[in-house]
Amino acid sequence: MSETEKYRLLLVDDEPDILEFLSYNLTKEGFTVFTAQNGKEAIKIALETVPHLIILDVMMPGMDGIETCEEIKRQPALKDALVAFLTARGEDYSQIAGFEAGADDYIAKPIKPKVLISRAKALLKRYRSGTGVQDTGDSDVISIGELIIDKERYVVTVAGNELMLPKKEFELLLLLASKPDKVFTREDIYNSIWGDSIIVGDRTIDVHIRKLREKIGQDHIRTIKGVGYKYVD
């Protein structure tokens, strides 16, 4: 079995020609590919097949890609699924909305099949090497003051309130909390959470930090201007 045959991909786009073209090339590369033409169908098929990677168009009628991604991230069975948005829209606000919804990557149309395959392989490296978050010790639980991070269950508890964070927010909080008071540079965070082979927008970290602060409190994640971020109790 080739490396790519281990992975299930779900392609979601309301344009049949695009679905057929991308599905053909990804299948030829060895991936097991499923397709859907709208958000509701995508969620149904995702729950049935539990794909490793979902490549999701943003601009779809009815339930758009952002709403679909948010619903996917709410499904416990799909908590490990990676999501990459595939869209012709290049505006910053669209990218920010995508990452806020829990996306792992953002790919602009039109895209050559070889480039898409390369991006898919880069994302799927995380299933071979883990999330990329540095080792935080043998314990499955990190406890710092009122913050408890359960790595096994992917659950965060703050002052007794249980939170289910999107995958990237969880990984970012886990990274920062793994070494309280240590300053993680933006480059450290990019490489640990997204991988040095993944291209993401400059504001991606800022968006995730803002969302985390809204959920766990404004005072725990400190900005070190011009350097990066650190977690403080």
Do the domain assignments include residue 136?
Answer: no
Which residue, chain included where needed, has tokens 């920062």?
176
- Are 189 and 175 contacting, i.e. CB atoms less than 8 angstroms apart? yes
Tell me the pLDDT band of 205, cut-offs 50, 70 and 90: confident
Integer distance in angstroms from the first to the last C-alpha of the chain?
48
Residues 79 and 173 placed together within one structural domain of the fold: no
Which residue, chain included where needed, has tokens 């948010």?
70
The proportion of the chain whose per-residue pLDDT surpasses 90, expressed as a percent, equals 37
Q: What is the pLDDT of residue 211?
A: 92
Amino acid type, 60: M
What residues pair up with 157 in beta bridges, in sequence order? 148, 162
Q: What number of CA atoms fall less than 13 Å from residue 167's CA on the CB side?
A: 27
Query: What is the value of pTM for the model shown?
Result: 0.60
Do the domain assignments include residue 174?
Answer: yes
Q: What is the pLDDT of residue 222?
A: 94
Do the domain assignments include residue 134?
Answer: no
Average model confidence (pLDDT) for the chain?
83
Q: Give the domain range for residue 23.
A: 4-129
- Integer CA distances (angstroms), 160 to 147, 148, 165, 198, in order: 9, 9, 15, 35
Residues 86 and 157 placed together within one structural domain of the fold: no
Residues 69 and 23 placed together within one structural domain of the fold: yes
What residues pair up with 35 in beta bridges, in sequence order? 11
Q: Could you report the per-residue pLDDT of 155-178, keeping only the tens digit for each? A: 899 888 888 888 889 999 999 998
State the CATH number of the domain containing residue 213: 1.10.10.10
Residues 9 and 117 placed together within one structural domain of the fold: yes
What residues pair up with 4 in beta bridges, in sequence order? none
Mean pLDDT on 55-61: 89
Domains contained in the chain, number:
2
* pLDDT of 13 higher than 70: yes
- How much helix, strand and coil, in percent to the nearest 5, is found in the chain? 45, 20, 35
Tell me the pLDDT band of 138, cut-offs 50, 70 and 90: very low
Domain termination residue (choose one: 94, 129, 164)? 129
Q: What is the DSSP letter of 204?
A: H
Q: What are phi and psi of 89, to 5 degrees?
A: -80, 130
Q: What is the pLDDT of residue 131?
A: 42
Which residue, chain included where needed, has tokens 């993401």?
200
The proportion of the chain whose per-residue pLDDT surpasses 70, expressed as a percent, equals 86
